[in-house]
Structure 1
Amino acid sequence: MGGYGAAPTRADERTSLSTGLRLPYLAESPLLILLVCILVLQNLAVVPPFADLGGVSMKEKAELRHQWALEVADHGRAVAQWDRERTAHGVELAQWEWDREAWRKEVQGNRAAEAHRSKEAAEEFERGQEERRARDARERAEEERRRQALREAFQRERAQEEHERRAARDKFNKEWQEEDHRRQAVREAFEQDKEQWAKERKQEEQHRQDVERQRLGVYWSQVRRYEQCTAFGTRTYEAELLDIPGHLDWREVCEDMPIEFHGRRVNRPPHCERNKDGRVWAMWKIDFDEPECTLYWAPLLDLGCTDSDTGTRRYEARLMNLRHGDDWDAMCKTAPAIIHGFQFDHPTVCEDKDGRTGVWQVPDLRCQR
């Protein structure tokens, strides 16, 4: 033991635990030693007690001492267990520190190796890029020389082909005009006969259909006229088909029902439909006797030969007599024109510049190169 006031040793702590008291100062006073010895002897029932301590019997004291001894033993085992766990924790902590240091060294080594590999890969990639650029430059130069040779050969062949094409075109045009005159004469005679036959058959069929419809009672309602024109010389009309017998197919009846416009008979509507109410409607686009939808072109402007090698001359003209609400694009694309005695059913293209304008590209031998 140390001097007065010094910390007790583990041997002193074990001695104190055996009596249940911590007595670090027993060696300093003989009187205290004597009192402790008497108290121990009384607890062991060797010396009778000096006074009755609350009427506690010796048996109860023995049981209390036994219980206290068990608790002391449990405490000792708990302390020993805690010492073992603390020792194991220390070992585990040391192992964890060792593993962390090893992992850190491994990571540093991997990083250094990765940096080295990346550097080598970058150098290898750069060398490959330099070689590829040099190879590409050589290939481009070779390709350009080859293309230049092909262009020169193509230009020579094209000039020769163009000369041969012009000669063949002139010959073909002459032969085609002669053949066209012969075919036109035959076609006109055939068309006259064909029209006569068709007219007779049509009259017979119309008569038969009129008789059948009168028997069934089907008829058209009042025709409604659209105010806007839908094409050159063309206006849209619609009407409802009434009193269709229930046992007949409405579409078949509608598509076979004639009507008259401007005193001319139209055998069947081009379009029939039935709405949600079950009413059947038909629509016609009438392209005759519609003077309000007939437009005309302003004087043609000759803009000279086109820049392409097609051998065509460009003409332009403004479309006149358009009314508000008319579909100018549809009207333009269906408006005919006569240029130098030739009939054109519609312009080559329609443009919207300074008014609705039609553009024609007309073949012209003077524009061939």
Structure 2
Amino acid sequence: MFRRRTNHTLTSIFEPSWEGLKRGEHCLRYATRQYTARLSDGLAGTDMIKACKDTPVAIHGELLYTDFCQDLGFNRGVWGYWIVDFNEPDCETRWGEFTDLVCLQILFRLEQKRIAARLENLRKGDDWQFMCVTTPADIDGQYYSTPAECFNQGRWGVYGSWNLHDNSCDSQQDGVVQAAISALTQRA
């Protein structure tokens, strides 16, 4: 007997194949989810870990080989695990509206502005820290692979913040310096 695979090649029923392919309930990180399946038993003497590594499965129409295999022992079988980082829209968190917070003083100069945004499309049960640090942002045409900081504000949500160079902070510095000089000269 033979059965068809998605790539249109015939395989013997005696060759191991994947059973019960299941997608993970939660996202691992931005746009990424884990899938698992049990490898059907092959002929006696088959190296099942090798078969696990050599047997592809179709996920989202693509044939993929396992990222890792695990032998759970007698009667529990060999399991394959795939980390899928494409066609997982439920795992695509995004940043809401960016809000200017404050100019930061670095070595006595105001040269960076801190901005923040709320993480959107974060699903209940997903690890907020992993989702936050792996969600990229495009801020004023500049790509950032990760925020500088992530923080969980409870019922108000998860936020990321970025420290950006901003010339307007330098002009604020000039105003602060002029005000300080004026205050000092008036005291004298």
Could you say which TM-score interval applies, normalised by the shorter chain?
0.7 to 0.9
- Aligned equivalents of 1:358, 1:331: Cα separation in 2: 11
The answer to whether 1:314 aligns with 2:114 is: yes
Give the alignment of 1:174-193 within 5 angstroms: none
The equivalent residue for 2:184 is none
- The question of whether the paired residues in 1 share the 8 Å contact of 2:149 and 2:160 is answered with yes
Give the alignment of 1:1-369 within 5 angstroms: 214=11, 217-266=15-64, 268-277=65-74, 279-309=77-107, 311-353=111-153, 354-364=156-166
Equivalent position amino acid for 1:360 in 2: W
- The question of whether the paired residues in 1 share the 8 Å contact of 2:113 and 2:163 is answered with yes
- Aligned equivalents of 2:49, 2:72: Cα separation in 1: 12
- Aligned equivalents of 2:95, 2:89: Cα separation in 1: 15
Superimposed CA distance per residue, residues 243-267 of structure 1 (whole angstroms, 9 cap, x where no aligned partner): 334434322221232111111222x
Equivalent position amino acid for 1:333 in 2: V
Offset of 1:337 from its aligned partner? 0.9
3-state SS of the aligned residue for 1:332? helix
- The question of whether the paired residues in 1 share the 8 Å contact of 2:104 and 2:114 is answered with yes
The equivalent residue for 1:117 is none
Offset of 1:349 from its aligned partner? 1.7
3-state SS of the aligned residue for 2:106? coil
Offset of 1:355 from its aligned partner? 1.6
Which structure's relative contact order is higher, taking Cα pairs within 8 Å and 6+ residues apart?
A: 2
Q: Which runs of 5+ in 1 are unaligned?
A: 1-206
Equivalent position amino acid for 1:341 in 2: G
Offset of 1:313 from its aligned partner? 2.5
- Aligned equivalents of 1:305, 1:246: Cα separation in 2: 69
- Aligned equivalents of 1:245, 1:342: Cα separation in 2: 55
Please, what TM-score do these two structures have when normalized by structure 2?
Answer: 0.72
- Aligned equivalents of 1:357, 1:219: Cα separation in 2: 43
Equivalent position amino acid for 1:261 in 2: I
Aligned CA distance change for structure 1 residues 312 and 214 (closer, same or farther; 3 Å):
farther
Please, what TM-score do these two structures have when normalized by structure 1?
Answer: 0.39
Q: Which runs of 5+ in 2 are unaligned?
A: 1-6, 174-188
Offset of 1:364 from its aligned partner? 4.1
- Aligned equivalents of 2:165, 2:69: Cα separation in 1: 42
Q: Which has the higher helix share?
A: 1
3-state SS of the aligned residue for 2:100? strand
The equivalent residue for 1:136 is none
3-state SS of the aligned residue for 1:319? strand
Equivalent position amino acid for 1:358 in 2: G
- Higher Cα radius of gyration: 1
Aligned CA distance change for structure 1 residues 220 and 365 (closer, same or farther; 3 Å):
same
Offset of 1:235 from its aligned partner? 2.0
